[in-house]
Chain A
Amino acid sequence: MSGTTVTEDRPGLATAGSPAPKLVDLFEQGLQSPICLTWELTYACNLSCVHCLSSSGRRDPRELSTAECFAVIDELQKMQVFYVNIGGGEPTVRPDFWEIVDYATAHQVGVKFSTNGVKITPEVAARLAASDYVDVQISLDGATADVNDHVRGPGSYATAVRAMEYLAAAGMTGFKISVVATRHNIGQLDTFKALADRYSATLRITRLRPSGRGADSWDDLHPLPGQQRELYDWLVANTTGPDGAPVDTVLTGDSFFHLAAYGDALPGLNLCGAGRVVCLIDPVGDVYACPFAIHDSFRAGNVRDTGGFTGVWRTSDLFADLRIPQKGGACTSCSAYGTCRGGCMAAKFFTGLPLDGPDPECVKGYGQTALAALDAADLAAVPKPDQDHSHRTTRAARPVPVTIGRTAPMSTRAVSACEDDPLAGFSLRSAG
Chain B
Amino acid sequence: MGFDLDAAWRLHTQVAVRPEPFGALLYHFGTRRLSFLKDPLLTDAVRSLPDHATARAACVAVGVPDPVPADVAGALETLAQTGMIVRRDPS
Contacts and interface: CB of A to CB of B under 8 A. Distances in A.
Q: Among A1, A80, A110, A431, find the residue whose CB has the most chain B CB atoms closer than 10 A.
A: A431
B64 interface: yes
B5 interface: no
A17 to B, nearest CB: 11
Interface stretch (A198-206, A218-226, A345-353, A420-428): A420-428
Contacts of B36: 23, 26, 428-432
A191 interface: no
Contacts of B21: 26, 29, 31-32
Q: Among A14, A16, A21, A432, find the residue whose CB has the most chain B CB atoms closer than 10 A.
A: A432
B39 A427 contact: no
A8 to B, nearest CB: 9
Interface string B10-22: 0000001011111
Contacts of A431: 26, 35-37, 42, 75, 78-79, 82, 84
A423 B35 CA distance: 11
Interface string A7-41: 00011111010001101001001011101000000
A431 B85 CA distance: 12
A52 B40 CA distance: 42
A33 to B, nearest CB: 7
Interface residues of A, number: 31
Interface in A235-279: none
Nearest to B39: A13
A425 B32 contact: yes
B22 A13 contact: no
A82 interface: yes
Interface string B47-91: 000000000000000001000010110110011001010000000
A16 B72 CA distance: 11
Interface in A65-108: 80, 82-83, 108
A13 B34 contact: no
B22 A26 contact: yes
SS class, residues of chain B in contact with chain A = mixed
Interface residues of B, number: 34
A20 B69 CA distance: 14
B16 A432 contact: no
Contact of B74 (A10, A16, A29, A426): A10
A429 B82 CA distance: 9
Contacts of B23: 432
A425 B28 CA distance: 12
A108 B16 contact: yes
Given A426-B33, A427-B31, A432-B75, A12 B38 contact: yes
Contacts of A20: 38-39
Q: Among B19, B20, B34, find the residue whose CB has the most chain A CB atoms closer than 10 A.
A: B34
Contacts of A11: 71
A31 B20 contact: yes
A177 B27 CA distance: 25
Given A35-B25, A431-B75, A432-B23, A80 B18 contact: yes
Contact of B38 (A23, A426, A428): A23
B40 A82 contact: no
Contacts of A83: 32
Contact of A13 (B29, B71, B79, B82): B71
A343 to B, nearest CB: 25
Interface of B: 16, 18-23, 25-27, 29, 31-43, 64, 69, 71-72, 74-75, 78-79, 82, 84
Given A20-B38, A432-B71, 14 more contacts: A1-B33, A10-B71, A10-B75, A14-B39, A32-B21, A80-B25, A82-B16, A82-B34, A426-B27, A427-B33, A428-B34, A429-B36, A430-B38, A431-B42
15 contacts: A1-B31, A1-B33, A10-B71, A11-B71, A12-B38, A13-B42, A20-B39, A23-B36, A26-B21, A26-B38, A110-B32, A428-B36, A429-B34, A431-B36, A431-B78
Interface of A: 1, 3, 10-14, 16, 20-21, 23, 26, 29, 31-33, 35, 80, 82-83, 108, 110, 423, 425-432
